[in-house]
Amino acid sequence: MITESMYEKDKKKYDYLIVGAGLFGCVFAREAALMGRRSLIIDKRDHIAGNIYTREVEGIQVHEYGAHIFHTSNKEVWDYVNQFAEFNRYTNSPVARYRDELYNLPFNMNTFHALWGVRTPKEAREEIDRQTAEARASIPDPDNAANVEEQALLLAGRDIYEKLVKGYTEKQWGRRADSLPAFIIKRLPFRFTYDNNYFNDKYQGIPVGGYTHMVENMLKKDIPDGLIEVRLGTDFFKVRDELSHCAEKIVYTGPIDEFFDRRLGSLEFRSLRFETEVLDEENYQGNAVVNYTEYEIPYTRIIEHKHFEFGNQKKTVITREYPAAWSLGDEPYYPVNDEKNNALCEEYKKLAQKEAGVIFGGRLGRYKYFDMHQVVADALEAVRQEVE
Ligand code: FAD
C-alpha cells in the first residue's frame, strides 16, 4: 500500500538538477523555465556565470577567469544574448610585444609593415613566400612537419615564428616548440589588409555592465517566480545522494571523468594563474590585451580590463596571465585534446550514453574548448531535443 508520505517523498520536486551555473547551465535553465519546467541550479563556486564571471573593482568590470570577448556569426545566438545585455562596440585588436618591438595581431599588413617595412600585399606575400621556401629547403620532411617549430616555419617563415609564435607557444604549453606535436598549430592565418580586428565574425562586443549581469538577467527576465532556484557553494559530489533524486533529469556541466569517479583515468587539462593588480594610474598599456611573445617573460599576456568598456576611471585594473601545469584540484581551463586524452574521453562518452537521465553539456561535460557562442548554441539545441 502506498501511503501519502511515501508518495510525497518519491515525488520529484524539479524537472532538472543543473550542475554548474555557467553559460550552458543558465541558458538551459532559462529555456526550460520558459516551457514551464522547474530547475535547481547548483554550483560549487560562490557565484553564477562560471568562467565568464565578471566582478566590479574600482568601477571596472574585471574578467575574473580570463578575458572574454563575445563574437559570433550566428544571428540567432547574437539576438539571444542581446536580450539580456546591451553589447558595446569593442573589437578585439591585441598587440604583441616582443622585447621592445610592438606588432599588431592577427598577422596583417600592419604586422608585416612593422616586421619588414613592406607596404603592399604583394611585397608582404613575396617576403612570406621567400621565408617559407627557405624553411621547406631546410626541413628534412617538409610535407610532414615533425613538431610545432617545423610547422610554424613552414606556414609563416622564420621572422614570424621567432618573434611571434615560438616563445608564446612554449609558455602556453610549458614545453619547447621542437618537442611539441605539430597538430597544435593547424593554421596561421594571414590577412593582407590593414585590419587589426582579431575575429572574422559578423558580431562582436562586450556586454555593458559585465557578463555576470547578463547571466543574472538570463535567469530572471520574464521567468515566472519559482521556476529557477540557484544554490551556490554546493558541490554535486558532496550532495549527490541527497539531490540526485530530486529531479527527473540531471544536466551536468562539470568534468565528464569526475562524474564517473575517474574510474577509467583522469582527463588532462592546462591551467592558468591570474595575478590581478589595481594601479593608481589611468591608462597602463593603452589596449585591453597585450601579448608577451618572448619566452623570458613568464606571463603570456596582460589584460587591462577598463579598455573592454572604454572606461575613463581614475584607476585601472590589470591582470597578468600565466599558463600553468594542471593537476587534480587545479582549475581546469583548457582540455588537452591530444590522441590519448581524446581516446579516453570517447570511453567516458560511451559510459555517458548509458546514463539515460543525464545530459552532459558545456566545455567540461564535453571535454572540448568551446567559445561562448558555441556553448549558447549547444544549450539551446539540448533544450530543443528535450521537447522533441
Ligand atoms: P563553465 O563556465 O566552466 O561552467 C561550469 C560550471 O560548473 C562552473 O561554474 C563550475 O564551478 C561548475 N561545476 C563544475 N563541477 C561542479 C560540481 N562538482 N558541483 C557543482 N558545480 C560544478 N569564449 C569566447 O567566446 N570568447 C572569449 O574571449 C573567451 N575567452 C576565454 C578565455 C579563457 C582563459 C578561457 C579558459 C575560456 C575562454 N572562452 C572564451 C570560453 C568560455 O569561457 C566558455 O565558452 C564558457 O565559459 C563555457 O561555459 P560552460 O557553462 O560550459 O562552463
User: Which one is catalytic: 229, 355, 371, 386?
Assistant: 371
Q: Which of 51, 171, 273, 305 to mutate to test the pocket of ligand 1 (most atoms within 8 A of CB)?
A: 51
| Pair 164, 253 in one domain | no
- Minimal CA–CA distance to 92: which of 71, 123, 61? 71
| Residue 149 belongs to a domain | yes
Same domain, residue pair 259 and 360: yes
Tell me, yes or no, whether 14 and 77 share the same domain: yes
Q: Look at residue 133 and tell me if it is in a domain.
A: yes
Among protein residues, the one with the nearest Cα to ligand 1's atom 12 is 20
Q: What is the pLDDT along the chain (388 residues), one digit of tens a residue?
A: 434 343 344 458 999 999 999 999 999 999 999 999 999 999 999 999 999 999 999 999 999 999 999 999 999 999 999 999 999 999 999 999 999 999 999 999 999 999 999 999 999 999 999 999 999 999 999 999 999 999 999 999 999 999 999 999 999 999 999 999 999 898 899 999 999 999 999 999 999 999 999 999 999 999 999 999 999 999 999 999 988 889 999 999 999 999 999 999 999 999 999 999 999 999 999 999 999 999 999 999 999 999 999 999 999 999 999 999 999 999 999 999 889 999 999 999 999 999 999 999 999 999 999 999 999 999 999 999 997 7
Domain region containing 50: 4-86+205-266+337-387
Residue nearest to atom 21 of ligand 1 (CA): 43
Q: Which residues line ligand 1 (CB under 6 A)?
A: 19-25, 42-45, 50-52, 66-70, 235-237, 253-254, 272, 333, 362-364, 370-373, 375
325 belongs to a structural domain: no
Residue 261 lies in a domain: yes
Element (H, E) at 104: strand 101-104
Q: Report the chain's terminal Cα–Cα distance, integer Å.
A: 36
Tell me if 170 is assigned to some domain. yes
Verify that 32 and 69 share a domain, yes or no. Answer: yes
Q: Is 48 in the same domain as 151?
A: no
Are 292 and 97 in contact by the 8 Å Cβ rule? The answer is yes
Residues 175 and 45 in one domain: no
CA–CA distance, 317 with 305 (Å, rounded to integer): 6
Which DSSP letter does residue 320 get?
E
Q: What is the pLDDT of residue 338?
A: 87
Of these residues, 270, 320, 322, 355, which one is catalytic?
270
Q: Indicate the pairing of strand 101-104 with strand 95-98.
A: antiparallel
Tell me which of 123, 152, 184 is where a domain ends.
184
Asked if the structure places residue 355 within a domain, the reply is yes
Classify residue 224: in a domain, yes or no: yes
Residue 292 lies in a domain: no
- Indicate if 178 and 220 belong to the same structural domain: no
If phi > 0 it is left, if psi is from -120 to 50 it is alpha, else beta; for residue 286 that is: left
Number of domains comprising the chain: 2
Interhelix angle 211-220/23-34, rounded to 10 degrees, is: 20
Question: 212 and 73 share a domain?
Answer: yes
Among residues 150, 184, 218, which one ends one of the domains? 184
- CA gap 34, 384 in Å, rounded: 12
DSSP 251-314: EE-S-HHHHTTTTT-PPPEEEEEEEEEEESSS-SSSSSEEEE-STTSS-SEEEEGGGGTT---S
Residues 233, 360: one domain?
yes
371 has catalytic annotation: yes
Mark which of 125, 151, 184 sits at the end of a domain: 184
Q: Which residue out of 150, 216, 321, 378 is catalytically annotated?
A: 321
CATH number for the domain spanning 18: value is 3.40.50.720
Same domain, 240 and 361: yes
Task: Check whether residue 370 and residue 232 sit in a common domain.
Answer: yes
Provide CB contacts within 8 A for 277, sequence distance 6+: 317, 318, 319, 320
User: Looking at the structure, do residues 75 and 9 belong to the same domain, yes or no?
Assistant: yes
